[in-house]
Amino acid sequence: MERCRPHGAMEPQPPAEQVLRQLGRLLSHRPGALTELGALLEASEPRWLLGTGSPAALVELAAQLSDFAALPECEQDTAELRDGDKAYEAAAERAAGVGGVFLRLLAKLEAAKADESLKPLVEPVLRRVMGYMYILAVTHIVEGAWSSAGTREVAAELLEELVRSVGCGTVEELLRGRKEEEKGGFEAVMGLMKPRLSKDTWKRNPATKHVFSWTLMRITRPWLSQHLERVLPASLLISDDFREENKVLGVRCLHHIVLNVPGADLCQFNRAQVVYHALYNHLYSREASLIQAVLLCLLDLLPILERAQRQQQQPRPTSPWDEVLQLVLTHMEPEHRLALRRVYARTLPAFVQRLGILIARHLKRLERVILGYLEVSDGPDEEARLGILETLKCTIEHAWPRMPCRLPVLLKALLKMIWDVHTDQGSTPEPVRAALLQRATECLILLDRCSEGQVKILLEGVYSCCEENRVRECIRRVQENT
């Protein structure tokens, strides 16, 4: 005969493992399952939640929640997505709900730390669910067609609570670990991201590249080198896309790697050469934003390649510096787009400075570029002219023995520019005019020094017949300089 339950006795609760797995399976089939799951976590006791078998069920549940909140796959790229897309609105609602459930789970795990018998179980669970929570938070913390003000708020709160729960002070600590020898969460995150970062999958989810780049930028020296095999292929893949915004993003990722990985590690297995060739090919682009990103990255990569060549004792007739500068000057000479002219002119002084006396190899083409850029104004800020005057100054300083023979051409160009700047009635601000005249005067002084006073002699006639005070002031400063 069945024994009767005493009056008022509660029915025993089913195991947490069973309930969690059942609700996880219902997420995609029953609209209210997510709400029920949130209510269950809110009401459950930490001891029940972390009972026998539950930690594995919690990890499985985190994966199911991550899949439920995932963005719909697409065949097109992010650049063609638009705010207000119904599929992304629905995904944002799901993400906000899942973020709320993750917050409740973190709260329960935090409460479990107060129980000494449960405390050993909390950290393993946190480490295994952390990647899913992090990816959801970073997906929606950036503004995109798939996020909303609500999801961004939930994502920021989730990321903040996740950092606090694992005992870190910043997202960087969460990813890298608090100490150099400590294992952070970056490996777990990249492990989950790996299937999404292949050649065939990375563009199906419009947030993948943002999550990858946002995460990569938060890992610096000395932690990044141990993850080089995970991050370099993905960065090269993104930079090799046909869309300009993806190329720029990929190049910025490569630049971060170059800055934060030791040169010896970069040169191992010919990695630095692979990056160099990828960047060199981008120099044929006509987009200013991409050229700027590429040149800035090359300025930090080329010294690494140069050191590797010296160590290998393999002398070459031309170095990567020469190869890059030759191509840049070839593109600069006929360039008429002001945005590109500014980018080239801003970067050129650094190349001249780095090559030093070896800039003499490129003087013929460099002279033509300097003359062409001095002649044309590029707008109120005169970035191109200021950059090219700095280039001329560096060139005179490093290749001064070759300057006397070029004196007539350079002197004429500088005087013409000084006159144009003085007489220009355009919208150029006074500080910019002053900067142009100051740099032109400095170049004249340097030319005079390397030509043993020839500039002073040539300017005597100009000074006596010029009636413009500002131009006379520039000439006077050259003549008085000793």
What sign does the CA torsion over 163, 166, 169, 171 have? negative
Q: What is the mean pLDDT of residues 107-114?
A: 88
Q: What pLDDT is stored for residue 448 in this prediction?
A: 93
Phi/psi for 82 (5° steps) reads: -130, 145
Element (H, E) at 130: helix 119-141
Q: What is the mean pLDDT of residues 98-121?
A: 89
pLDDT at 10 over 50: no
Q: What is the mean pLDDT of residues 115-123?
A: 84
Q: What pLDDT is stored for residue 468 in this prediction?
A: 72
Q: Which amino acid is present at 400?
A: W
Nearest one of 472, 409, 405, 407 to 446, comparing CA atoms: 407
**How would residue 63 be classed by pLDDT, with cut points 50, 70 and 90?**
very high
Alpha helices by DSSP H, 261-362: 263-267, 271-282, 288-312, 320-332, 338-355
**How would residue 308 be classed by pLDDT, with cut points 50, 70 and 90?**
confident
Digit-coded pLDDT (tens) for 24-57: 888 877 778 888 888 888 888 888 888 766 778 8
pLDDT higher for 357 or 422?
Answer: 357
Q: What is the mean pLDDT of residues 323-337?
A: 95
Digit-coded pLDDT (tens) for 207-262: 999 999 999 999 999 899 999 999 999 999 999 999 999 999 999 999 999 999 99
Q: What pLDDT is stored for residue 316 in this prediction?
A: 60
Nearest one of 430, 342, 452 to 390, comparing CA atoms: 342
**How would residue 14 be classed by pLDDT, with cut points 50, 70 and 90?**
low
**How would residue 326 be classed by pLDDT, with cut points 50, 70 and 90?**
very high
Digit-coded pLDDT (tens) for 370-401: 999 999 998 889 999 999 999 999 999 999 99
Alpha helices by DSSP H, 166-283: 171-176, 186-193, 208-216, 228-239, 244-260, 263-267, 271-282
Q: What is the mean pLDDT of the chain?
A: 88
Q: Pick the range with the lowest mean pLDDT from 54-63, 218-227, 273-282, 294-303.
A: 54-63
pLDDT higher for 306 or 74?
Answer: 306
Where do the structural domains in the chain lie, given as residue ranges? 20-71+84-167, 181-314
Name, in order, each residue with C-beta under 8 angstroms of 329's C-beta and a sequence gap of 6 or more.
Answer: 362, 365, 366, 369
Helix (H, G, I), strand (E, B) or coil at 403: coil
CATH 1.25.10.10 at 181-314, yes or no? yes
- Please tell me the distance from the alpha carbon of residue 47 to that of residue 208, in angstroms, as a whole number: 36
**How would residue 8 be classed by pLDDT, with cut points 50, 70 and 90?**
very low
pLDDT at 272 over 90: yes
Digit-coded pLDDT (tens) for 131-157: 999 999 999 998 888 888 889 999 999
Q: What pLDDT is stored for residue 313 in this prediction?
A: 64
